A = this chain, B = another copy of it.
Amino acid sequence: MGHLVVLKNKPYIRSFAAAVGKKEGEGPLGKCFDKVFSDSLMGQTSFEKAESYLQQTALELACYKGKTNVKDIDVLLAGDLLNQCIASSFATRQASIPFIGVYGACSTMALSLSLAAQLVDSGAAQTAAAVTSSHFCSAERQYRFPLDYGCQRPPTSQWTVTGSGAVILCTTKERAYIDKFLIGKIVDLGVTDANNMGAAMAPAAADTIHRYFKQSNTGPADYDAIFTGDLGQAGSELLYSLLGNQGIDIRAVHKDCGLMIFNRAAQDVHAGASGCGCSASVLAGHILPEMLKGKYNNILFCATGALLSPTSSMQGESIPGIAHIVNIKKEN
């Protein structure tokens, strides 16, 4: 897997769904999401429980759309940003299905989707689900400051998406499938500003994209679109610069989920969006539906993660970044 993994049996995408918060519902992709909650607590008693409920909702809607009983999912791969990944484990508690917890910060959707594809492709599972989430309110108070503090945010900061995306893979033929994936390496160029995640993750995205093109013997022109996870404005520009040094120009086909989900000018999100739920909800709410409509036939989904914690930042550590790529194709 230093090498690209080319799947043999086309793990198919049976269904997918996205559940998001109010602000995401008011953004440019608002109409795409399967469920938009009107308040941050979603009927729960804490933001952490609300985040679990987001995951449950996304998975249940994906199951409903795929005419799949939750109990018939052979394995669920899930992750989130909360300490000890509690959004995922508490969301899965009732389902009583085999559970694999994964952690890749905001890259988690690409990681869980890769592993799910691998398990279905190899026959270890007939049906596998990949789910991730984030919640602005649970993330802010865990990573930064209590919301009530009203802290000023610098221009490079990104807004954590309140949302969850779920994708169900299966062995029976559907209209799209996972064709390849490449697991990322940790890249750390020494960025220490926890308010500039885009800069911390861009080098990892550049490394994985560069390796992917090299190993797959393809280039940007071979894809209808290349979606990065949540580099935001600052991170995207840095990615162009880093790839440019390698003679690669992805600008004609590049989109960043962190720049798609909000209207930056109107919604006050500074450099864009972020969070495990950002790329996951854009994938399940926008990218995959557009593929099925015929807009895209062959795309790269490259979610990026910043593997820091408040503890590592307080101890003066720089921010390790990671990015994984999943190649999704539409069936002919």
Contacts and interface: CB of A to CB of B under 8 A. Distances in A.
Interface of A: 1-3, 5, 45-46, 48-49, 73-75, 79, 81-86, 89-90, 92-93, 95-105, 111, 115, 118-119, 121-122, 124-125, 128, 142, 182-188, 307-312, 315, 317, 320, 322
A122 to B, nearest CB: 4
A323 to B, nearest CB: 11
A319 B317 CA distance: 32
A188 B307 contact: no
Contacts of A308: 84, 86
A90 B315 CA distance: 12
A96 to B, nearest CB: 5
Q: Top 8 closest A-B pairs, CB basis? A: A84-B309, A89-B307, A98-B183, A122-B122, A101-B103, A1-B75, A83-B83, A1-B74
Per assembly, the copies of the chain total 2
A105 to B, nearest CB: 7
A54 B128 CA distance: 34
B315 A84 contact: no
A99 B322 contact: yes
A83 B115 CA distance: 22
B122 A121 contact: yes
B1 A124 contact: yes
Given A83-B83, A104-B101, A317-B90, A96 B186 contact: yes
